[in-house]
Structure 1
Amino acid sequence: MPQQFTCAQVQEAVRTLGDEALQWLQDMIEFESVQGNEAGVQDYTRQVMEHVGLTPQYREIPDSLMGDPEYSHNENEMPYAGRYNVVDTWGADEGRSVILQSHTDVIPGGEWQEAFTPRFDGTYVYGRGATDCKGPVVMMILALAALKKLGFEPRGRIESQFVIEEEVGGNGALALIRQGCKADAVIIGEGSLLNVFPANRGALWFKLTTYGKSLHMGRRNEGVNAIEKMMEAARHILDYEQELIRESLNYPLFERYEAPVQICLGMISAGNWPSMVPDECTMEGGVGFLPNKSKSQIEHELEQAILRTDDEWLRGHYKLTFDKLRNDAYESDPNHPLVVGLHQTAVECGIDSEIFGWNVSCDARLYAKLGGMTTMVYGPGTIADAHAAGEKVEWRQVIDGAAALALTLSRWCG
């Protein structure tokens, strides 16, 4: 007979581990686990998992991954020697399986001097990664620790994956998918306010360069100003944004968003002297899009938008590339039994939870699109706090989220 637990039993097991788990989160925040500096937090995560009775292992990431067509290139690329994912497998292969995944890498603290000095005020835990994503990591480990405490023996396999390089596009997750990880469903730990998100927006970064003809300001009319050509291109790009919004309104699971998609013109640079006509202008930006479009469609449509110009010079003197973040949108079945089960269990445990789409991009799309697995996002905290000075997570959400997750796992893998 499968082991049957009540919400109250699981909540009590989580509660008895709460003080210890609070310390785990504060300890993890102390690690400045930016890209290239993840070893310390990964070692600590492995130790915590061993402490609660799991048997985690380091999983190497080969440098050859950089040649993968889905690899997210970035300006801080470095070898993967000594930089690992942490993976644990618990249970048998006699029932339904699940992957629990979140990430321990964070963005830099920036001007926030206390970013890596954790603080708990009785309600919130503050520090870089509190929401994104060390809070969700602790929620997942706490759920597993509670099940261990209850004597749960999963008939189906529970694979826990705590990865690096999510913040630069998901290369840690990509490595595990290329290494063959597979399960009946995947739960990604991100700040969802304990809602269940079976669909995510995509995000595509672009770099546009316009070229001109440089001359002294006194002969401006004989030159071609690359900034002015960029202004013309930007006008058409923003026109395309309005088209994208119209095509995406009321898309299933994203109906609540007034502007579910967007184009951000993020950085621009040109010229090196005030009285010279610049011959080159570069702009970088991003496109957010829903599952009604693929990233290849967005690439094509963005270029076609630029080519709508009547400016013959611009049509022949630009370069558009997509060399950095290239996150596809995805959607899984909102009626999948684990999507529904996780949501219903959360409600059963007193959580105000809904099922809808998330207008944010994360590792989830890799498991859905490349791994072919039903994938959902669930975790404590809100995206509004992620990456912010003063990033925080409500501790009660970590506790409540862990209890609902533990009960869900007992039913799915029991």
Structure 2
Amino acid sequence: MGNISQIRKIAADEHGAVKEFFLNLLRFPSLPGKEQDAIDFIDDCFSPLCDRIERVSFPDNFTADPEYSFPVDGIDYTGRCNLRCIWNADSPGPSLVINAHVDVVPPSKGQLSAFDPQVNDGIVFARGACDDKGQIAALYLLLKILSQLPTRPEVKLILHLVVEEENGGNGTLAMVRAGEKADAAIVLEPTSNRIIPSVRGAVWFRVTTQGKACHSGQAGRGVSALDRALDVKAALEGYHRNLLEYSNGIPLFDQFPNPMPLTFGKLHVGDWPAMVPDCAVLEGVLGFLPNRNRHQVMAEISDCVRNTASSHEDQARIEFMYRHDCHVLDMSHPLIEILKESITDCGQEPVISAMPASCDSWYYNNLMGIPSVVFGAGDLAHAHTSNEQIRLEDISLLACELACLLHRFPASFKQ
């Protein structure tokens, strides 16, 4: 590509400014529900580089939306927003949405300086370094590159910088409800520079079982809700084994030994060691592949729980707090082709893979009908860990690849 040397030079010249922006962004403890200070900071930094920035607030009664996920205790949407940043707003050419999320998960156990970033040999360590603030730093550099190139590609670039990805994608859901039209979308997540056209789905569930409490000295008169919860757990493990076997051979997912794990993360039961518990609450998440959709999986899980409970002559209660469908984009789609070419422009070998986790891409691909891929810098294996990290050079590489993609975009998405 003719102007790759210009792109690289601008990226190198802006290294110090991008590093400063990134470290400052990492210092905001932008947990779900507490992202607004970071949003304001990004708005201030991006405004000189964009044609305009819109603050997208949340609809009234947002928590009643049927797609709303996993509410955080005490969460309030008053005064909170996403950012919709528009570059080349008057372009008659095609449009591209790029999504990145501002929120982060809480610090890991023992991660005492999670929001005090440390830099060692070009690697930045902090909560949110790769998931997902390194991606936002790449967008900051991308805007700086675009502002300094002698010619603008005929493409309208729309950045969705959203909140609450980590607890189910409510920020992106708000962008869906606000409405958006685009020819393609890229959701930035740490993929190790791999192109991800296939993303698995996931449902988070909560099962409540009832028993009959009694003193341990009269245990024969009680019915343990814990035993019933463990029966449900065993039944769900059996369902998962069968579903995993049935899901063998799905393109791009066979490289993973278990691309659709079942995880039980929480069990709350009882109030006293010497009392048979009358209530147990079991929570977990089940991944699934594109041979199933979320409605089928939720129905099958519900049947599994119901059948287990019926043997006890009662009904366990099941709730679903998070319901992401799979996302699949055809491998021949031009978005994949020009992304491969842009990676090659920057001296890298394109790799196409699948994502054995869920993210916000399905909102664009499935609910909005915008062809989407997941792509980004950093390694997913570092996300949510006490050692979360990203290389500064990988942030620069991502920005250069995206700049190359924007120059190739108009020819592949002619209006």
Q: What range is the shorter-chain TM-score in? A: over 0.9
Shift in Å, 1:68: 1.1
Structure 1 counterpart of 2:277, one-letter code: P
Structure 1 residues 13-412: aligned runs within 5 Å:
13-91=10-88, 92-110=90-108, 111-309=110-308, 312-314=310-312, 316-322=314-320, 324-412=321-409
TM-score, normalised via structure 2 length: 0.94
Residue type of the partner of 1:270? V
Aligned partner of residue 356 in structure 2, secondary structure: coil
Q: Deviations over 1:161-220 (max 9, x none)?
A: 111111111111111111111201001111011111112111211011111122222332
Normalised TM-score (structure 1) = 0.94
After TM superposition, give the deviation of residue 334 of structure 1 in Å.
2.1
Distance 1:350 1:278, change over 3 A: same
Q: Distance in 2 between matches of 1:123 and 1:300?
A: 48
Please give the alpha-carbon distance, in whole angstroms, between the structure 2 residues aligned to 1:347 and 1:68.
42
Q: Which runs of 5+ in 2 are unaligned?
A: none
Mean CA deviation greater in 222-231 or 378-387? 222-231
Task: Report if the CA contact (8 A) 2:155-2:406 is conserved.
Answer: no
Contact residue 164 and residue 172 of structure 1 kept, 8 A: yes
* Aligned-residue RMSD, C-alpha: 1.8
In terms of mean alpha carbon deviation, does 401-410 or 245-254 score higher? 245-254
Q: Given residue 117 of structure 1, which amino acid in structure 2 is its aligned partner? A: D
8 Å Cα contact 2:345/2:404 also seen in 1:
no
Q: For the residues of structure 2 that align with 1:191 and 1:359, how far apart are their CA atoms?
A: 12
1:6 aligns with 2:6: no
Q: How many residues align?
A: 409
CA distance in structure 2 between the partners assigned to 1:276 and 1:245 by the alignment:
38
Q: Distance in 2 between matches of 1:36 and 1:217?
A: 43
Per mean C-alpha deviation after superposition, the further-off stretch among 39-48 and 300-309 is: 300-309
